[in-house]
Amino acid sequence: MSVPDKIVGYLQRKQLVSIKDVANEFNISEVTAMNYLSRLTNLGFANRIGYGKYEYGKSDDSSIIITSETRKIIDLVKRFGERNVLVWSINMLSHYSHYAIGNDLFFIETNLTYKTSIRDILLQNDYSVVMDPERRDFKNYTLNNRDTVFVIERKEKYGIDKDEPMVPTIERIWIDLYYYITRKDLNFSSFELGAMIGNMIKSNALNYDRLLYYSNRRKIRDEIIIILYELMKKTNDAALLNVIAKGKNTIGVINQVLDGASE
């Protein structure tokens, strides 16, 4: 199935689209739009990042560190299928950290069917396993001498690195870290989390639309918008400006509103 150039051009221009977006833009059925986007994914022009959501290409500058210990965990649980298990750790963002991350923390996301079996395999391999962790677990994991693996039940799997089908993108990892720090008292430096996103921006590795999409899934989009707005003021990043200010002169209006409010 060939894909019309206008579809490719639209995806490249928008960077992030849904099946419905393409169907409405070109007055075609959603089935046809889905087929076009699936074809572009197979050709390497797009990545599927969520149900009905596709992004254009992938930044060659993004970097996820998969340590030998993380690879070992991936190998232990891959028997349950790439579609059913997602593995990530804090050290996957160590490329963007200011300092060497010491005691790593591992996450396995899976469905109800495989949770117990995954726990048993990890225990057999001498891991400390926490099922569906509570606040106290996130606060105290650094006290454990063994590697800690949090096994979390999540019903959806999205935001996957296309080269590592059991690993999330850097944006999804960062958003989840922010979520666990602010909602679950994860014992990790908020300052270092900020350093990570700053270094991602400097290395041109961050996909802003993808970041906002994941933050919306976590219901923290407003907070991330505030962070991005403050970063935009410091960096004058044109791409970041376009993400925040979808309408013409939006940033100017925002600044005038803030000036008025401070009088």
DSSP state of 248: T
Give the number of other CB atoms < 10 A from CB of residue 18.
18
Kindly tell me the burial class for residue 84, based on how many C-beta atoms sit within 10 Å of its own C-beta (0-12, 13-18, 19 or more): middle
Strands 148-153 and 105-110: parallel
Closest CA to 170 of 196, 136, 133, 137: 196
Residue 198 lies in a domain: no
β 46-50/16-18 pair status:
unpaired
Q: What one-character-per-residue DSSP string does 66-82 give?
A: --HHHHHHHHHHGGG-T
Residue pair 213/16 in contact (Cβ under 8 Å)? The answer is: yes
Query: Residue 20 belongs to a domain with what CATH number?
Result: 1.10.10.10
pLDDT band at 208 (very low <50, low <70, confident <90, very high): confident
Dihedral class, residue 236 (left if φ above 0, else alpha if ψ from -120 to 50, else beta): left
Overall domain count for the chain: 3
What is the chain's mean pLDDT, rounded? 85
Mean pLDDT, to the nearest integer, of 163-178? 90
**Is there a single domain that holds both residue 83 and residue 179?**
yes
**Token couple for 84:** 């059913």
Q: Are residues 90 and 167 in the same domain?
A: yes
| CA–CA distance, 145 with 207 (Å, rounded to integer) | 36
**Is the pLDDT confidence value at 59 over 50?**
no
Tell me which residue range forms the domain holding 116: 68-192
Choose between 234 and 109: higher pLDDT.
109
Is residue 103 located within the same domain as residue 168? yes
d(C-alpha 228, C-alpha 233), whole Å: 9
pLDDT tens string 91-120: 999 889 887 666 789 999 999 999 999 999
